[in-house]
Chain A
Amino acid sequence: MKLSIVPLLVASILLGIVSLVVSADDIATLRNATAIDTQKEPEAIPKVNNDDVRRSRAYPMQPPLIPHKIDNYQVDLNANKCMSCHSRDRIEESQAPMVSVTHYMDRDGNFLAEISPRRYFCNQCHVVQHDAKELVSNQFVDMYQLMNQKQQESGNQPAESSD
């Protein structure tokens, strides 16, 4: 029994050293390297972007972001506030973007008259954006940008070779 404790002790000491080294890295967290035994001063709650300007994607296949406030929007068994503007038969009056056709399909690909129950809770995928500083910067490059880059490079090469 005594023998088995020694490697455990060694391992825990090693783990401690490793964690010290890792914590030296400036990984941005919500606690922002505040010591574990102290309570962090809470940040001011950022405002929700409400400018109705649609944003491009921040990563591949990102669900479109909500560019407006959704405070107290009721989405439950009784009512779906989102769909009172974004459903097919409401967009003419509301001029809001229509939810995509995939949202009317069940998982077997059959089209339904109403929005599919598996897509009903909009906020599972679609979220608002806060007017806050990014904790981690995003270097995502859209596919079209990559393709354009490639085309430009390949377009430049023959131009260079013809010179």
Chain B
Amino acid sequence: MKNTIKRIWHTLRRPSVHYSLGTLVIGGFVAGIIFWGGFNTALEVTNTEAFCTGCHEMRDNVFEELKTTIHYTNRSGVRATCPDCHVPHDWTDKIARKMQASKEVWGKIFGTINTREKFLAKRRELAEHEWARLKANDSLECRNCHNFEYMDYTAQSGRAAQQHSTNLASGEKTCIDCHKGIAHELPDMSGIEGW
């Protein structure tokens, strides 16, 4: 084992004997493009609704619930897909979230929520994770579309304008504080502030 590592290290340290510098540079460059492009393509594939709903855990529970809400069907036909709300758009944040999501792969393999009953039992915990995430990043994923700077209070209903112009404008509250359950059904809300 130790000898093998030593031999590889020795090979790496020596200059190339058979391949020209050009081959190595150009070859490395092409391989880099293929690797990086492939990585990003694979990453983007995991960032689609088809990927999320590929598992029955998402398709039969949360995706079904989304279908009745305004984020799925509405007057203008602009809609949000799973990653729009659940995955950060910036690259570094996205990678951090994807690394966290490796735990979800674990959950999938061991069937943590593979029945409706298990999902319902775990719903409060799962919802709390999402509330905590959105609270911590000031509802960043909401704000990717719903930009406060461009909100027209006059086009909102009286109540909405009142809340948005005071509590939201002052930064005292963020979207998720009031809009829990906007796209999915709520878990048992006993003990949650504001419920």
Query: Hey, which bits of chain A sit against chain B, CB under 8 A?
Result: 50-52, 68-69, 71-72, 74, 77-81, 83-84, 90, 93, 95
Contacts A52-B159, A90-B194; A72 near B186 (Cβ below 8 A):
no
Q: Across the interface, which residues of A come within 8 angstroms of B188, CB to CB?
A: 77-79
Complexed CA–CA distance, A93 and B172 (Å): 13
Report how far A71 CA is from B188 CA in the complex, Å: 20
CB-based nearest A residue for B187:
A78
Residue of B nearest to A53 (CB): B158
Contacts of B158 in A (CB 8 A): 51-52
A residues within 8 A CB of B121?
Answer: none
Cβ of B70 < 8 Å from any Cβ of A? yes
CB of B115 closer than 8 Å to a CB of A: no
- B187 A72 Cβ-Cβ under 8 A: no
Residues in chain A near residue B68, CB distance under 8 A: 72
A78 touches B157 (CB 8 A): no
Closest to B167 in A: A93
Chain A residues with CB under 8 Å of B181's CB are 74, 79, 81
Contact A74 B186 (CB under 8 A): yes
Known: A68-B157, A93-B194. 11 other contacts (CB 8 A): A51-B157, A51-B158, A52-B157, A72-B68, A72-B70, A74-B185, A77-B188, A78-B188, A79-B188, A79-B189, A84-B194
Which B residues, 130 to 176, have Cβ-Cβ distances below 8 Å to chain A? 157-159, 162
In the complex, what's the smallest C-beta–C-beta distance from A91 to chain B, in angstroms?
12
Q: List 21 A-B contacts (CB under 8 A).
A: A50-B157, A51-B157, A51-B158, A52-B157, A52-B158, A68-B157, A72-B70, A74-B186, A77-B188, A78-B185, A78-B187, A78-B188, A78-B189, A79-B187, A79-B188, A79-B189, A79-B195, A81-B181, A83-B195, A84-B195, A90-B194
Would B157 and A79 count as touching, CB distance under 8 A?
A: no
Nearest to B178 among chain A residues (CB) is A84
A72 touching B69 by the CB < 8 A rule? yes
On chain B, the number of residues with a Cβ less than 8 Å from chain A's Cβ atoms is 15
- State in angstroms the CA–CA spacing of A78 and B189 once bound together: 6
Complex Cα spacing A93 to B194, Å: 9
Complex Cα–Cα for A106 and B38 (A): 64
Closest Cβ of chain A to B183, distance in Å, is 9
Residue of B nearest to A77 (CB): B188
Chain B residues, CB < 8 A from A51 = 157-158
Contacts of A72 in B (CB 8 A): 68-70
In angstroms, Cα B121 to Cα A78, docked, is 12
Docked CA distance A71–B69 (Å): 9
Given contacts A52-B159, A84-B195, contact A78 B70 (CB under 8 A): no
User: Chain B contacts of A52 at CB under 8 A?
Assistant: 157-159
A55 to chain B, nearest CB (A): 15
* A71 CA / B158 CA spacing, docked (Å): 17
Q: Is the CB of A79 within 8 A of B70?
A: no
List the B side residues contacting A83 at CB < 8 Å: 195
Q: What is the CA–CA distance of A51 and B139 in the complex, to the nearest angstrom? A: 28
CA distance A84 to B188 in the complex (A): 13
Cβ of A62 to closest chain B Cβ, rounded Å: 23
Closest to A71 in B: B70
Chain B residues within an 8 Å CB radius of A50: 157
A93 to B188, CA, bound (A): 22
